[in-house]
Amino acid sequence: MRSAKEQQLEKKIIEAVHALVPPGKAEAAARLLMADPEIKALQDYANTVSIKRIGYNDHGPVHMRTVALNAVIMMRLLRDANIRTSLETEESGSFEDSLTAVLFASILHDLGMSVSRQDHELHSVYVSFPIMDRMLAELYGGDMQKRVIIRSLALEGISGHMGNRVIHSLEAGVILVADGCDMKKGRARIPMAMAGSPRVGDIHKYSANSINNVLIKRGEEKPIRIVVLMSGEVGLFQVEEVLLGKIAASTAKRYIELYAIVKNREPKRYL
């Protein structure tokens, strides 16, 4: 059963996709991905492993839907600035094809947490592969070329979302940053409540817990402006050690402005 938060995010994702492209493959993909029982089971168990076994932040259905929404917003801002996706530049597909691949990567990127935290992005690749094959066959039928292209692009986004592997497509770069932007305090709520004695990695929980919101909107000098709003300076750890590193590794870096605002302090600009 999907939580109220999951349903709220799903509604926003569908609305955001619908505002970008006419009803078609991207919207159908979004609906399939968010309604699929196997994906939901994997997302739920990934969260169990992350929170209960490891004591880490949310890596479940809410996180993956949040990343999808972040990614769709970024795709809109890039298109509004007339930035072409890699598929468009290479003449391998349309903007909608790129958006479809981004949706697959977003919703599936952390399924590997159901196996292990270490190398979870690579675990996500093999866990996701048969799911993508099944859904792309339903969406694209006998168009094998399009199925291969979208699957390959989505797999790049999944395998590259930690920022420790070189990526080349703009679409994969969007996934990397969209993932990094999900760091507000809701992700740390359950681990904080369950916290016992101090352990390695606690800084991720405490820093995330100080972040009130992350805004993704149109920039003044570049297409995308990311603004991180926080209640205390401990939140700068998330910006400097997580988000900034992911942006630096992203093919979308040149299109991004990054600001951090600590309550009652002057904004700090990173990019």
Compute the average pLDDT of residues 218-239. Answer: 94
Max avg pLDDT among 72-81, 195-204, 237-246: 72-81
Indicate whether 194 pLDDT > 70: no
Whole-angstrom distance, CA of residue 213 vs CA of residue 229: 5
Indicate the pairing of strand 224-230 with strand 256-262.
parallel
Residue with the two structure tokens 């159901």: 114
111: DSSP letter: G
Predicted TM-score of the model (pTM): 0.92
Compute the average pLDDT of residues 153-174. Answer: 97
Neighbours of 94 (CB within 10 A): 17
Task: Quote the pLDDT of residue 187.
Answer: 53
Compute the average pLDDT of residues 235-263. Answer: 95
Indicate whether 42 pLDDT > 70: yes
Whole-angstrom distance, CA of residue 30 vs CA of residue 15: 11
> How much of the chain is in helix, strand and coil states, percent to nearest 5?
65, 10, 25
Task: Quote the pLDDT of residue 219.
Answer: 98
Q: What CA dihedral angle connects 245, 247, 250 and 254, to 10 degrees?
A: -140
130 Cβ contact list (under 8 Å, min separation 6): none
With bands split at pLDDT 50, 70 and 90, how would you rate the model's confidence at 209? Answer: confident
Task: Quote the pLDDT of residue 188.
Answer: 52
Task: Quote the pLDDT of residue 175.
Answer: 98
For residue 41, give the nearest of 148, 165, 127 by alpha carbon: 127
Strands (E), the chain: 211-218, 224-230, 256-262, 268-269
Indicate whether 74 pLDDT > 50: yes
Query: In terms of C-beta density within 10 A (0-12 exposed, 13-18 middle, 19 or more buried), how is residue 198 classed?
Result: exposed
Indicate whether 86 pLDDT > 60: yes
Structural domains of the chain in order of their starting residue, each with its CATH number: 4-269 (1.10.1300)
Task: Quote the pLDDT of residue 192.
Answer: 47
Q: Is the dihedral of CA 106, 108, 109, 114 positive or negative?
A: positive
Residue with the two structure tokens 């694209």: 140
With bands split at pLDDT 50, 70 and 90, how would you rate the model's confidence at 37? Answer: very high
